[in-house]
Chain A
């Protein structure tokens, strides 16, 4: 798990859509190629289908079971979203407080980074005991704790990586702490924050699915476990596909928000088109 996600360089919004499609061509070729090799390898090497089903069989399971799969996907998405919102909000809040009180921040930062390195997913069964196992709470909690540390650490890093000259300039204009915070620190922190949020979407999905394994019938995790134990590997893979689609959707949603928010951000121009 990465401790600190660097802000990724972003392309300009105005960049033509055509160029973007061209950019994607190699990736699409690799993707299609991998699927073809997968399908062929199974036929050529006669791989038993419980070890690895053919992509075609997975797609047809995906279609046949779409109602069950999307119900399960929706339940798990609720857990992941709940965890993402709670964990990220708490992360941002704590980072804001720590950025304001630097002494406290300096004291807690090493601990936060250490906590970030803990495989928090190991807590999933414990949360099941702490919260009502019949509700979504233990699974939301797992996802939330997974999201909390990367968001907190990155936001704090963003809030405190302001150039001293900028702060001095603001002070020269007689700006108060709050104004410095609003006009300098927050805009500086936003790219860091969004990078962390994108990491958090992935973590939230991981947290939700892994804790599903201990969880309720009708969730993606149990669907995967159940299908595997009844040798229905096509359905298990189809459920993994649903999980991937939902994970990517959450990631893209955050990326779109980032694009919109940072477009209005006046400092974006200075940072250039990256």
Chain B
């Protein structure tokens, strides 16, 4: 008797679960499709385009309800997406290559940042005016997937970052204090973040803010350094992409995100405000600087936002391979067919997806980024 009752309860439970699942799956068209985007870092202008797409209703118009998940130092977007806790992820391209090589079937569907924002900086009065001169110095860089561009630059200049006798690599915290206190000779700095942090600090000797002229800034993307790799890209898993309807979702998501980025190109200040509204931790001055620098990484793009020439991808893959991030150049790690479709739709609607005439603003830093 008791067993039969249990069985009945079990059957009922399964049936009701199936019913709920069916009901949830049923609505479809009139309801926005829920998707999640995992950011690489905390809310800041680096992700302005996505926040703008949400605030300005581009995602909604595209039939999407996008949940933007903030990242942080111990969040690896690749892992979050592979674990199915987010549909879309943002991270640097070499990290995606490394993940793919290790069997994580991710595919990059848009390369939003067309150039690298990574720099290594030194004080001008230190005399370290080339990467070569970093031999034997204390060189700071962030660990855990953010170091390949610098390591490539050091290796290219005959310095083995794994050998303590050649260079002391310091695991740099996410502030610039070690550099400001001159405890390290060189520090990693994104043009849009840490570089501003230094310029927002008062020089105790002069009582004025530090100037760009106080620093040597080695841009990884520059011809002199030449180890810049492609950074923020949008990726999904192959599994996700092959589920019914998701290819369309990918096109819709990219289209709306691109619209967000185009909005930020045209309405620079509004985008800063949108970011501040979503994440008020960092100051207005800092976010304004960042928005301008981020726009420089996205615009102009002669192939249209989200797409970069095959040559650029091959270049990143080659640098990553040469300097040991990956063993083989990955196959099919990027596909821009969905980005291309999104671009076609935007172009047909008369939207400028290239930003050829865009000029960066002249942003003055403020003390403490306030």
Contact = CB atoms under 8 A, between A and B. Distances in A.
A231 B99 contact: yes
A242 to B, nearest CB: 16
A215 B169 CA distance: 11
A50 B325 contact: no
A49 B102 contact: yes
Nearest to A214: B171
Contact of A68 (B98, B162, B178): B162
Interface string B113-134: 0000000000000000000000
Name the 6 nearest CB pairs between A and B, nearest first.
Answer: A229-B144, A231-B102, A217-B169, A231-B99, A229-B145, A230-B98
A218 B139 CA distance: 13
B103 A50 contact: yes
Contacts of B143: 217, 222, 225-226, 229
A231 B78 contact: yes
B102 A134 contact: no
B170 interface: yes
B82 A50 contact: yes
20 contacts: A48-B82, A48-B103, A50-B82, A50-B99, A134-B168, A134-B183, A214-B171, A215-B171, A216-B169, A218-B162, A218-B164, A222-B171, A225-B144, A226-B145, A229-B76, A229-B144, A231-B98, A231-B102, A231-B103, A231-B104
A49 B103 contact: yes
A55 interface: no
Nearest to A216: B171
Contacts of A218: 162, 164, 169
B95 interface: yes
Nearest to A132: B183
A232 interface: yes
A232 B102 CA distance: 7
Contacts of A132: 183
Nearest to B141: A217
A132 B183 CA distance: 9
Interface in A201-215: 214-215
B162 A230 contact: no
A7 interface: no
Interface string A53-77: 0000000000000001001000000
A50 B171 contact: no
Interface in B151-184: 161-162, 164, 168-171, 173, 178, 183-184
A229 B146 CA distance: 10
B138 interface: yes
Nearest to B167: A217
B170 A217 contact: yes
Contacts of A233: 102
Interface residues of A, number: 22
A229 B183 CA distance: 27
B78 to A, nearest CB: 7
Given A230-B99, A231-B78, A232-B98, 7 more contacts: A49-B103, A50-B103, A134-B170, A216-B171, A217-B161, A229-B95, A229-B145
B78 A134 contact: no
B144 A134 contact: no
Nearest to A67: B162
B164 to A, nearest CB: 6
A216 B140 CA distance: 10
A134 B184 contact: yes
Residue of A48, A225, A229 contacting most chain B CB atoms (<10 Å): A229
Interface in B309-337: 325
A36 B173 CA distance: 41
Contacts of B99: 50, 230-231
A229 B173 CA distance: 16
A186 B247 CA distance: 75
Interface string A216-251: 111000100110111111000000000000000000
A43 to B, nearest CB: 14
Contacts of B168: 134
A158 to B, nearest CB: 40
A225 B147 CA distance: 13
A205 B151 CA distance: 29
A230 B325 contact: yes
A48 B138 CA distance: 39
B162 A50 contact: no
A226 B184 CA distance: 21
Contact of B178 (A48, A133, A232): A133
A230 B95 contact: yes
Residue of B82, B102, B173, B325 contacting most chain A CB atoms (<10 Å): B102
A215 B301 CA distance: 39
Contacts of B98: 230-232
Interface in A119-151: 132-134
Contacts of A232: 98, 102
A218 B164 CA distance: 9
A133 B177 CA distance: 12
A238 to B, nearest CB: 14
A210 to B, nearest CB: 14
A68 B324 CA distance: 13
Nearest to A68: B162
Contacts of B162: 68, 71, 218
A227 to B, nearest CB: 9
A10 B101 CA distance: 50
Contacts of B138: 134
A222 B143 CA distance: 8
Residue of A132, A228, A230 contacting most chain B CB atoms (<10 Å): A230
Interface string A253-269: 00000000000000000
